[in-house]
Structure 1
């Protein structure tokens, strides 16, 4: 790792106010940069990223950077980590989620960079541990998955050679130790800076791991660069300070800073206005809504639960349709509890949240057993009950918070279609009709990459269900068991021939026919 910049000494007085291009010049070649942010432009220091990109394209510096980010940051086009996705600008990337920057994923696929993938919560918590100068993060998160050193250890391409994760044992129990690294530069964002140099995130759509990023850089002897939307004339209330001045070295003020990619400031997204009434989105398709409705049947009154991206996010719409949303508490890894979760590219944002915590705190709560249940997507399921969502078709996706969440919830419900690519289904008359079978089976003999370990789940005593439109499966000590079949579907014709393994088939019951009628009535 490189030595931190010598052009700016760290200080305990108010940070210096600079233009974005001045901040970019404080980043030396070879630096390890930790950033905060998540999809949809949330807490993204976009002006600093743009200045760094502009400087590299004009002067070929800073180059050979190591980029560390817990969650996906960008818009799949030009923003977020896309600004760093130039050959020579980065040498190594340690990321929790990669899909928001296809350019960076291509650099990894082309072996132009060293690519590492770790759980999103692990990266955030590791930054916190670095900030306290502790010997890395010791946790069970990741055991039995691809980040376990007995599998890939998080190495995502052949250029990635270093050992970032070690297997350790305490009192006869296995853990993973994620090794600390030196952070030369932390890049964070806030809403406003007061005359004392303290920053508040009160107008932001999430707090994420901004404090941990700054803490890690400072403890490493590095520098912290921040972006805010405005200056304040009076000091902040001490309870509103999220980034204290002693963690900051230089700050740029960007009056045009947007709260999210949605543009205009929305007071509901930062908790300054109540959530609007939750209005269920119309079903994207009857099949997706059918799966979500069957998954929602697993929800219990009083559950503290988490929802993932895609079909699983529609469980909230189903609960709202059924008048049950007020019976549960929904928590998401970006730090929010309650409120109205946004979907699509704004997944991770809530309107009118009841509680907003740093994502590091939220991941700690998840690890401590907060979640009764989680509802997540699935790309592949294998004979051991293991699930892959992190590497599809050989391409890097990354787990985001999937591993941290799926290992800690007492009940796990995976949601997805039974086959993909060309599947044509019709939901009508209380039954399912398969008009054309998909060419890609999602139930395979062995997943390409283990993002969720079935054997580890059994050892933890988790209750695991796999919900599709035509069948429901449960993980048992004897294997994956087919427990329910859709009306109109034949086990021998429509299920078993399209699986890469043979599940346990005892006496599967019929999926509730009213689920199919309700979907037909609600389809658009």
Structure 2
């Protein structure tokens, strides 16, 4: 199981029956493949759709259906489509129960940077800032370290923030964190990963929960 699948499978465990969920580009969207049986959620695309499912196969792909990142999606029975202003009224009105966004960096204060690297052309923040303050629960997902092996879970973000102090949870390929006393609270480790492995790979300060457990990656 690769890092992206670990993260996507664990993300899917965050949803409760009846939730309205917005999934960000990349790994968050992959989690739609792993929704637990019996858990029915309404997935929202910020470009104007409610009730879509797992990414389509080559056989079921409809080029007219895509999310805000241009990736194909599958509309389910009972789905609706509408204007982008209506979609953002849903987000800003507090009607999204959970949003999961990818991140470039996160830190122990619950900050997230997910839209710009200085000197690199970026299309803009998109709907991230609305989701980060409009959703009832905000989760960041990212691979724990970069290509150089350096932590992306930090004491303090170095990149421009998307929003401050907004995260409820961080999910990586190594661990699940919540927050306590301005530090990272380690709640779970990935299968085969020890607490010591997580501490060694993390720049931020960690409090280890007395109830730390292994991630459930079942479907």
Which residue of structure 1 aligns with residue 190 of structure 2? 486
How far apart, CA to CA, are the structure 2 residues paired with 1:300 and 1:332? 18
**Are 1:385 and 2:88 an aligned pair?**
no
Which residue of structure 1 aligns with residue 146 of structure 2? 420
1:334-349 aligned at under 5 Å gives the runs: 334-340=47-53, 342=66, 346-347=70-71
Alignment check: 8 A CA contact 2:185 2:207 kept? yes
Q: Whose relative contact order is higher, 1 or 2, with alpha carbons under 8 Å and at least 6 apart?
A: 2
Pick closer, same or farther for the CA change 1:485–1:395 going to 2, 3 Å.
same
How far apart, CA to CA, are the structure 1 residues paired with 2:191 and 2:75? 38
**Are 1:511 and 2:214 an aligned pair?**
yes
Which residue of structure 2 aligns with residue 451 of structure 1? 162
Alignment check: 8 A CA contact 1:487 1:510 kept? no
SS in 1 for 2:186: strand
Greater fraction helix: 1
**Deviation by residue 1:400-438 (Cα, 9 ceiling, x = unmatched):** 1111112111111211111121xxxxxxxxxxxxxxxx5
Q: If the length of structure 1 is used for normalisation, what is the TM-score? A: 0.36
**Deviation by residue 1:264-321 (Cα, 9 ceiling, x = unmatched):** xxxxxxxxxxxxxxxxxxxxx63212211111111000001111101100111111xx
How far apart, CA to CA, are the structure 2 residues paired with 1:380 and 1:312? 15
Which residue of structure 2 aligns with residue 364 of structure 1? 89
Pick closer, same or farther for the CA change 1:339–1:497 going to 2, 3 Å.
closer
Pick closer, same or farther for the CA change 1:413–1:500 going to 2, 3 Å.
same
Which residue of structure 2 aligns with residue 293 of structure 1? 9
| Cα displacement (A) at 1:487 | 3.3
**Are 1:331 and 2:44 an aligned pair?**
yes
341, 347, 354: which one aligns with 2:79 = 354
SS in 2 for 1:370: coil
Q: If the length of structure 2 is used for normalisation, what is the TM-score? A: 0.82
**Deviation by residue 1:296-355 (Cα, 9 ceiling, x = unmatched):** 111000001111101100111111xx4446x11111110111134657963376546721
1:78-227 aligned at under 5 Å gives the runs: none
How far apart, CA to CA, are the structure 2 residues paired with 1:509 and 1:393? 37
168, 171, 189: which one aligns with 1:467 = 171
SS in 2 for 1:472: strand
SS in 1 for 2:33: helix
Q: Runs in 1 of length 4+ with deviation above 6 angstroms? A: none
Which residue of structure 1 aligns with residue 27 of structure 2? 311
How far apart, CA to CA, are the structure 2 residues paired with 1:324 and 1:378? 29
Segments of structure 1 that go 5 or more residues without pairing to the other structure are: 1-284, 422-437, 458-462, 520-524
